[in-house]
Amino acid sequence: MTAPAPLPEPAPDQAAPAAPAVPIMPPTMPIVLAPSPILKARARPVQASDAAGDLAQRMLATMYAAPGIGLAAPQVGVGLRLFVIDLKHDAETPEGRAPMVLINPEITRLSDQLVIMEEGCLSLPTHFAEVERPDMLRLRYTDLAGARHEIDADGLLARCILHEIDHLDGVLFIDHISALKRNMILRKMAKERRT
Ligand code: ZN
């Protein structure tokens, strides 16, 4: 995001509002709820012409407002291979934030060791389930500045990366659990939507 433009001088007959010394937050985006065709579709790679910077800033604002620790572009209705993550608990204040923007991510290594962890998703609010996934991974991705990175991740970061990459491939965490549990959650979602 570029720095916000300076405020124009107020006209003489207008009361000048006290200018707050806070950065202007980009507007949030509506989060797509399951079931939805965009959440089942495979997203395409991000290209230079895609204005990923603006999208990523709006996705971060949306994720912080939700609040959540990860958000993938298909969840805001954009079929691009991009997601944002911030595992820091104290995301309410800008100082407490540690945002990551991951573009065109590619897993290059996955551990054989699997681990069970409870997951939730901003597209399935208030629903949680235990999901088994690899414990560790190696990931290649591009950042907003166009720099390539390769990182090793474990614990919550690995979990969050695998969950978000699933979104880019049209997969939800409920696709990893039994059909019985999945249908129970989807039925509740449909019922909540009607009320
Ligand atoms: Zn999710």
164 noted as active-site residue: yes
Under the banding of pLDDT at 50, 70 and 90, the label for residue 92 is confident
Is pLDDT larger for residue 177 or for residue 90? 177
Q: What pLDDT digit, counting tens, does each position of 4-13 carry?
A: 455 555 555 5
Instruction: Give 109-127 as a 3 state SS string.
Output: EECCCEEEEEEECCCCCCC
Is pLDDT larger for residue 74 or for residue 96? 74
The pLDDT score that the predictor gives to residue 1 is: 27
Among residues 118, 130, 164, 192, the one annotated as catalytic is: 164
- Identify which of 190, 191, 139 has the alpha carbon closest to the alpha carbon of residue 162: 139
pTM of the model: 0.86
The pLDDT score that the predictor gives to residue 63 is: 95
Distance of CA 171 from the midpoint of ligand 1 (Å)? 9
Mean pLDDT computed over every residue of the chain: 90
16 token code pair: 């000048």
**Statement: 37-194 belongs to CATH 3.30.465.10:** no
SS3 state at 166? helix
Three-point CA angle 118, 83, 53, nearest 5°? 155
